[in-house]
Amino acid sequence: MYQVKEIFKTIQGEGFHAGRAAVFCRFSGCNLWSGREEDRSSTCKFCDTDFRAGVKYEDAGKLSDAILLAWDESRPQRFVVFTGEEPLLQLDAALIDAVHAHGFAVAVETNGTISAPAKIQWLCVSPKAGASIVQREADELKLVYPQDGMSPEYAASLIACSRKSIQPMDGPNLDSNTSAAVEFCIANPHWRLSLQTHKFIGIR
């Protein structure tokens, strides 16, 4: 059984694959925040995702069929991004195999507190201050910046990864956070700037 908030086709808005067409499968639920505003004092204080409630899928076959339908099965270069807030609470080998059978490459965006299953083509870890990181290898490290207790240097020491990006924290301080992220990337050219371009152009 899988609990899914939404499935939709869009353009990946951030990180290494920004600009690439993708189906997003957003799972319901997170292990760092309940989704309720009264719990904002939890580890992940800045989440901007509505992941509560959703639709239940009985098995991997039904969910993979829904993902294929969202893509339009006649089109090639299939790419699915499993996100949530924390997709690894639900993503398993059966679902990965099912979407592979439909010809999808699989990407995952995770907070790194749960070990990732095998056969994922692109694993992006976005660590949160105060959380226990167990997934120590990734294809991409994407750090929301700034975070007290999670500096870029500390994040890089936790996760072995050659592709590192800094993403300005959204909210009332977005302008100053963006300026700080730009300055950091200029001073540290092995890091790249990641912007949430989907918000700028008005898509999900």
- Catalytic (active-site) positions: 24, 30, 44, 47-49, 109, 198
In Å, the largest CA–CA distance within the chain is 49
Contact indicator for 43, 32 with CB cutoff of 8 Å: yes
Contact indicator for 133, 109 with CB cutoff of 8 Å: no
Question: Could you give phi then psi for residue 63, rounded to 5 degrees?
Answer: -70, -40
- Strand blocks (E) in the chain: 2-11, 21-27, 55-57, 79-83, 105-110, 122-125, 140-145, 164-168, 191-193
The first and second tokens of residue 95, run together, are 């679902």
Residue pointed to by tokens 């969202």: 70
